[in-house]
Amino acid sequence: MSPMHTHRTPDVALWDHYRALREQWTHEDNLIAQRMGWLIWSEGLMFTAFGAHARDREYWLVLGFPFFGILVAVLAGVAIYTAMAATDSIRQQFDEAGLADLCPLAPANHIAHRGRWAAKAMPFVFGAMWVLVLLGRLND
């Protein structure tokens, strides 16, 4: 008499490990989104304030806004890149544990990496814009 159908369920510990890594992944991904929001929000406010005072000839405004904008872009960029490094580490742990057979974490192909381009580039874009503003104001 042979068994009708044998269905092998993965070990509960594997699912617990999967859930723990998935939760960490989601947390870091949310941090990236929050930090991008902070960057865009704060830079937008600073550009607006700078634009409102662009005709003022107060030296501290001419230098203050661009330097502060560059500083915010650098700090947000470091925070974003740190969260991305954490997601890379989580993916490595996921792959080493062989959990992809259980349930894929996220696509690991080159197309999926394109989704990270904006988060990687935006701090540099804002920083470069402030450098251009600073150079333009210093040349006046």
What's the confidence (pLDDT) of residue 41?
Answer: 97
Exposed/middle/buried for 74, CB within 10 Å: 0-12, 13-18, 19+? middle
Q: Which two tokens stand for residue 29?
A: 């991904």
Indicate the DSSP class of residue 118. H
Every domain of the chain and the residues it spans: 12-138
* Mean pLDDT for all residues in the chain: 86
Cα 84 to Cα 43: distance, rounded to the nearest angstrom:
21
Tens of pLDDT, residue by residue over 3-58, are: 555 555 567 888 888 889 999 999 999 999 999 999 999 999 999 988 888 777 77
| CA angle at 56 for the pair 42 and 53, rounded to the nearest 5° | 25
Tens of pLDDT, residue by residue over 89-115, are: 998 998 888 887 777 766 666 666 788
